[in-house]
Amino acid sequence: MNLFAEAIASILSGPVSETVGQRLTQHLFLTLLSVAIAAAIAIPLGWLIGHTGRGRELAVGLSGAARALPTLGLLFFVALLAGRSLAVGLLVFVVLAIPPILAGAYSGLEAVDRRTVDAGRAMGMTEWQILMKVEVPLGLPLLLGGIRSAALQVVATATLAAFIGLGGLGGYIQAGLALRDFPQMLAGALLVTALALVLEGVFALLQHLAVPRGVAASRT
């Protein structure tokens, strides 16, 4: 209990409080930029797979292989090859974020009732109109669920960025480990946990709001 009290005191008025804003900004920047790049890659690919039904097995296999990669080992391996830089951290975190976003994108479209899609075709809608006006709006909650999962994975893993000199909240854990300062280590862990919970709440709200009114009414 004293350890927790010391960690919280360190956040509120101790050495951690002096740099928490800067490190929090670094951590958020790494997380949001990685997820944005991953989304720009995975969403169009996922929509293509979900709309056409082609390439799903390949996407599932590649996603499973990417999820199995040891993030810490990959981070240090790429850092040894390419040096410590922002690009190295982003590359690893983007690889981590792509599988859940890709899965959310294509599973969202696959979950759309085929009768709704057929009705759109019967009305004379083009394939592009069906995709953007029928499938994407109805599949948006599952897509946001994939982005939510990716953001939580990256915000936790971005703690490792401090070990290759990119800063972030993991810097407190790194410094505390070197100095055997356990309250500082716990303070870093608490801050990462708090940030993850905030992002979880934000994406959960967005996912709830993304459900079309007609779908929400039918569920009620």
The answer to whether the pTM exceeds 0.75 is yes
- Decide if domain 2-15+22-212 falls under CATH 1.10.3720.10: yes
Residue 188 belongs to what H/E stretch? helix 182-209
Take residue 72 and report the two structure tokens written for it: 């810490």
Provide the pLDDT confidence category of residue 163 given band limits of 50, 70 and 90: confident
CA angle 203, 33, 138 (to 5 degrees): 40
Q: Which of the residue ranges 36-50, 76-90, 143-157 would you say has the lowest mean pLDDT?
A: 76-90
Q: How far is CA 115 from CA 52, 53, 120, 121, 146, in A?
A: 16, 16, 9, 10, 25
Q: Please state the separation of Cα 59 from the chain's center in Å.
A: 18
pLDDT at position 215:
63
> Could you give the CA distance from residue 110 to residue 183 in angstroms, rounded to a whole number?
48
Give the residue-averaged pLDDT of 51-56.
Answer: 80
When pLDDT is cut at 50, 70 and 90, the band that residue 218 belongs to is low
Quickly state the pLDDT bin for 144 (edges 50, 70, 90). Answer: very high
